[in-house]
Amino acid sequence: MPATPQRGRTARRLTIGAAVLAAAGLTAAALPAGADTGHAARTGRTIDVQLLSFNDFHGNLEPPQGSSGTVEEAQPDGTKKTVPAGGVEYLAQSLRTARKDHPYSVTAAAGDLVGASPLLSGLFHDEPTVEAMNKLGLDVTSVGNHEFDEGRTELTRLQKGGCHPKDGCYEKGRKFRGADFPYLTANVTDEKTGKPLLKPYTVWRHKGVKIGFIGVTLEGTPDIVNAEGIKGLKFHDEVATINKYAKVLNKQGVKSIVALIHEGGMPASTSYNYHCDSPGPGDGISGPITDIAKHVTSKVDALVTGHTHQAYACTIPDPSGRPRTVTSAASYGKLYTDTTLTYDRRTRDIVRTSVKAPGAANHVVDRTQPKAADMTSLITRWNKLAAPVAGRPVGHISADIAGRGATTPESPLGDVISDAQLEATAADGKGGAQLALMNPGGVRSDLAFTASGSEGDGVVTYGEAFTVQPFTNMMNVVDLTGAQLLTALQQQVSGPNETSPKILQVSKGLTYTLDLTKKGADRVVKDTVKLNGTALDPAKTYRVAMNEFLAGGGDGFTAFKTATNKYVGPSDLDAFTAYLTAHSSATNPLTPPKADRITVVK
């Protein structure tokens, strides 16, 4: 059944009572005392508008496996509880339940809805996820860095529709219709024309209420995506861009504004229900979003953020000193945020005072609720198309191998992946690599022992391997001197990575000490860096394997851009699956590595 256009979705969210009131031209003030008009009814001159939001969905239509599919909940006694969460069947149901009795409800997202997706979505260039977002009633989203994984042309296709230029249409008689909701690219412009790639802002309208949405991705997007995908595009400062379009909206009479920002922060606690305003506003959160929040014009009434995959619902004072909500709903559809925006019908602005900001809270997308039937049908349909590829066994494991869900700088799955890359490129005719390095952000999930389907516990399917390594980056083997290699290791914890370190996963034989009590580049203890027990020689040339993203200087590793003598090998996914097949069997499964190559001092 085709998705309903946006205006139709909005209209259906009205309760019967609210529709009758509107038709009669009555307000709550005209009703008898005690009359029930619903939570979001008109009370005097203000209306409560419900803003539902989420971020960093990354095509996780099915519940994520392992620790990637859980959230941490702080308990009253100080303990923490792990709660299974996520999956679009439950996300859709949660949002639909939350909208009940809220005649004024708008749903927004803060980027990375697609990209780095599991095979069910990624195999089909994320068309299934866009289709799901249409069905669950998403009204607007900003772009994130991962929306650029397949380049500007593909992002435009996701917005406007049409079959993939190479793979075509996936189902006979079905043409991809594109997103019903606008992708906002306010700070992404064409270098030649200076115009935004897609719409910079949109205005949500419902029964006289107008709320403007401005969408931006992080200015540093070029540092974390493949350069080819963003060729001809320029990424601008988030604050300056938001402030610019807030003025534009104000001139159009839109006084209520929400910024959707694909940039985020790090709360002091990993519990989704952590109170980050204790003891003072925003005291429990750090990272890029805190500075952005303090400088975005006070014309903006709420900030919906993402990118860091963290959960928080804070207030941070705007430039005028008034509290303003800054929220993020973790990732993978495990949470959604419910924010109340009190809309003043006379001023057309959101009510914010020195003692009151819009109220916001994160809620778990728990898996004990009923599934949304239309999402179950969607998943079943696409799974049928993916089954011949997805269900093929590629290896066996004896227990969970933590990757994305690991809490340490070096993860067991990171070791497996880097070892796989070294093995795929070590032979003289295949690159002659002596070591391999893997960017941590490229490890997208865990490998879970419990079966995700009918394959049996401990069996790793191609679909599960794809979920871990979804980018299909080609392997590069390059020449680096010991001095260049040391510089690269130092860049993990210095420069743009100083406040949020990106610790490379290393292949067997490479060892060193990471002293987190120190600052910047000094965190890498120089004289401890060894390869196969021998100290790194600054003047010696080493053959180093890495994916093409890292080789291009991605994630702030500019030292890799100085490498020479490049050899292009297999894809990272092919290297990973070949390693799993070669090093495991049903009778001799792969055991999780100890992850002891990097000695961490805290």
Q: Which amino acid is at 114?
A: V
Tell me what pLDDT residue 521 has: 97
What's the Cα-to-Cα distance from 483 to each of 322, 330, 488, 493, rounded to whole Å? 50, 38, 9, 16
In this predicted structure, the answer to whether residue 596 has a pLDDT above a threshold of 60 is yes
Of residues 17, 9, 185, 5, the one with CA closest to residue 106: 9
What's the Cα-to-Cα distance from 300 to each of 44, 193, 285, 358, 437, rounded to whole Å? 24, 27, 20, 12, 42
- The CA-CA-CA angle for residues 357, 361, 364, to 5°, reads 170
Mean per-residue pLDDT, 25-38: 33
- What are the pLDDT digits (tens) for 152-194? 999 999 999 999 999 999 999 999 999 999 999 999 999 999 9
SS3 content of the chain, % helix, strand, coil (to 5): 30, 25, 45
Q: How confident is the model at residue 561 (pLDDT cuts 50, 70, 90)?
A: very high
Helix (H) or strand (E) holding 544: strand 541-547
Tokens of 60: 């996780």
Tell me what pLDDT residue 472 has: 87
Strands, E, within 223-330: which ranges?
A: 233-235, 256-262, 266-267, 285-286, 302-305, 311-315, 325-329
Question: Does residue 84 come out as left (phi exceeding 0), alpha (psi in the -120 to 50 range) or beta?
Answer: beta
Given a contact cutoff of 8 angstroms between Cβ atoms, the answer to whether 290 and 265 are in contact is: yes
Tokens of 269: 């606690």
Given a contact cutoff of 8 angstroms between Cβ atoms, the answer to whether 362 and 311 are in contact is: yes
- What are the pLDDT digits (tens) for 448-506? 999 988 899 999 999 999 999 999 899 999 999 999 999 999 999 999 999 889 999 99
- What are the pLDDT digits (tens) for 55-108? 999 999 999 988 889 999 999 999 999 999 999 999 999 999 999 999 999 999
Residue 519: count other Cβ atoms within 10 Å of its Cβ.
11
Mean per-residue pLDDT, 577-598: 98
In this predicted structure, the answer to whether residue 36 has a pLDDT above a threshold of 60 is no
Q: How confident is the model at residue 405 (pLDDT cuts 50, 70, 90)?
A: confident
Nearest-angstrom CA–CA distance, 304 and 337 = 9
What's the Cα-to-Cα distance from 66 to each of 114, 445, 512, rounded to whole Å? 20, 8, 29
Given a contact cutoff of 8 angstroms between Cβ atoms, the answer to whether 329 and 349 are in contact is: no
The pTM score is 0.85
- What are the pLDDT digits (tens) for 193-223? 999 999 999 999 999 999 999 999 999 999 8
Tell me what pLDDT residue 555 has: 93
- The CA-CA-CA angle for residues 103, 107, 111, to 5°, reads 175
Sequence-ordered alpha helix ranges (H) in 223-337: 238-251, 288-295
Q: Which of 145-149, 306-310, 356-360, 551-555 is predicted least confidently?
A: 356-360
Q: Could you tell me which residues come within 8 angstroms of residue 75 by beta carbon, excluding any fewer than 6 positions away?
A: 81
Task: Answer with the residue of higher pLDDT: 226 or 232.
Answer: 232
Nearest-angstrom CA–CA distance, 597 and 482 = 18
Question: Residue 12 CA to chain centroid, in angstroms?
Answer: 29
Tell me what pLDDT residue 354 has: 58
DSSP 331-347: STTSEEEEEEEEEETTT
Average pLDDT score, the chain: 91
Tell me what pLDDT residue 9 has: 37
In this predicted structure, the answer to whether residue 310 has a pLDDT above a threshold of 90 is yes
Q: Which of 273-277, 417-421, 504-508 is predicted least confidently?
A: 273-277
Tell me what pLDDT residue 279 has: 85
Tell me what pLDDT residue 14 has: 29
Q: How confident is the model at residue 280 (pLDDT cuts 50, 70, 90)?
A: confident
